[in-house]
Amino acid sequence: MNAHQTALWTSEEIVAATGGALHGTAFEVSGVTFDSREVEHGWLFVAMPGTVADGHDYCAKAFAAGAPAALVSKPVDGPHILVDDVPNALTKLAVAARNRCHGKIIGVTGSVGKTSTKEALYAALERYAKGRVHRSVKSYNNHTGVPLSLARMPRDSEFAVLEMGMSARGEIAALTRLVRPHIAVVTTIASAHIEHLGSMEAIADAKGEIFEGLEPEGIAIVPEDSDHRDRLVKAARKYAGRTVTFGQGEADVVALHAVRSESGGSLVTAQLLDSELTYTIAQRGDHWVQNSLAVLAAVEAAGADLAIAGLALADMGGLKGRGERHRLEVAGGSYLLIDESYNANPASMAATLKALGEERDVGRRIAVLGPMRELGTHSAALHAGLASSVREAGVDRLILVGEEMAPLADALGDDLPIERAETVEQATRMLSQLVRPGDAVLVKASNSIGLAKLVERMAGGLQLADAGEGARH
């Protein structure tokens, strides 16, 4: 097998795709990144411009880390391909990657659960076609992340699972035309990004843009239980050869039974289009039952093995910032810390609080909650609206981080003890002093709040003297 077949990209292919000019000797790469901290030996470094930092300033660091070349818009000291516009060149490389791929492409979007569903889909397909499945890494789902994820896609991928996000109308439409999925999944519709879009209907329309890029006779997968189900189905039918719904009631892919398993996840019997499957989900919470139905609908649509997908769901561990569970030591015993620090909106807050309430064999239930962002003028009402979920979960102690949580504190009144923290450092100090053996602690907020730092410190064996150090916000 020659280098052209084994390399992710050759310099000749990059030049042909981008229209750039090679400066230096020919090369081949095994990876692509625009973050100099991620560079591995043999990876192409893409020098993206930025408002805070210019990637061109990091080319020397990338070369030192093993990058054989860089994609640049101005000459640098080292092998490079010179283009007029780096972001545009990356998009062209993404187009070339998609054009040469003959595998099944699955696009995933939604207000809640898209990264978790993407990861579960990857796990299910990778178990079926080991080493031949590609996916978006992290949450690279925007106008730069999606092209990067495509540019990283190996030429012989049998399946690819690509996540698409947005904060405004038209963004997913542009991304889905790059991805050109054979299968397009919408996980759910919630009030994330309502600040920019103004209404839930507008959010549903923006998510429904994913269907615009479907390949001929493509399959749309839509949540049956959404208030916007009909709106999504109508959008899908303009572009999809077939529309499949998942959820409860009259859904095409439906959970006939779902009960809590001994391990704390769920035991589910689902009716699919052509078969019935009983499987276990390692992840806790009703929202994961819904995620699993979306996964199985996509696996069936892709022609992969459903039984193998069920095994993957049973084995799938928690994702960092999205339900990863830590059993941590404290004087006299241990406690459970549930890391949901990566994102938050009203729907995901309610779901994870409900899951906290269902934790068995725990002493107190403690929730450390930070603000939900991008809610605009709806922010105060939606934060206050979390009070019912807190009460129903049986939360014993609550730590609220930031002034945006004041409406929730006011709505709860004297229902339970509440600690108010202005910073992540203060919240970390409060939790470390409060927690005791047998507690179950939920940590959740929008990623920009920086509660991941609290999790890192608690999991790393925080010393109280360290709690005043600077934290990321």
Q: Is 114 annotated as a binding residue?
A: yes
Q: Is 116 annotated as a binding residue?
A: yes
Q: Is 191 annotated as a binding residue?
A: no
**With contact defined as beta carbons under 8 Å apart, do 32 and 92 qualify?**
no
Q: Is 264 annotated as a binding residue?
A: no
Q: What is the 3-state secondary structure (H, E, C) of the chain?
A: CCHHHHCCEEHHHHHHHHCCEEECCCCEECEEECCHHHCCCCEEEECCCCCCCCHHHHHHHHHHCCCCEEEECCCCCCCEEECCCHHHHHHHHHHHHHHHCCCEEEEEECCCCHHHHHHHHHHHHHHHCCCCEEECCCCCCCCCHHHHHHHCCCCCCCEEEEECCCCCCCHHHHHHHHHCCCEEEECCCCCCCHHHHCCHHHHHHHHHHHHHHCCCCCEEEEECCCCCHHHHHHHHHCCCCEEEEEECCCCCEEEEEEEECCCCCEEEEEECCCCEEEEEECCCCHHHHHHHHHHHHHHHHHCCCHHHHHHHHHHCCCECCEEEEEEEEECCEEEEEEEECCCCCHHHHHHHHHHHHCCCCCCCEEEEECCCCCCHHHHHHHHHCCHHHHHHCCCCEEEEECHHHHHHHHHHCCCCCEEEECCHHHHHHHHHHHCCCCCEEEEECCHHHCHHHHHHHHHCCCCHHHCCCCCCC
Q: Is 226 annotated as a binding residue?
A: no
Q: Is 111 annotated as a binding residue?
A: yes
Q: Which of 405, 383, 393 is nearest to 440 (CA)?
A: 393
Q: Is 20 annotated as a binding residue?
A: no
Q: Which of 210, 184, 98, 182 is nearest to 148 (CA)?
A: 98
CA distances from 227 to 189, 200, 202, 231, 393 (A): 8, 9, 13, 9, 24
Q: Which of 430, 443, 262 is nearest to 365 (CA)?
A: 443
Strand 333-340, strand 440-444: pairing: parallel
Extract the annotated binding site for ATP.
Answer: 110-116
Q: Which residues are annotated as a binding site?
A: 110-116
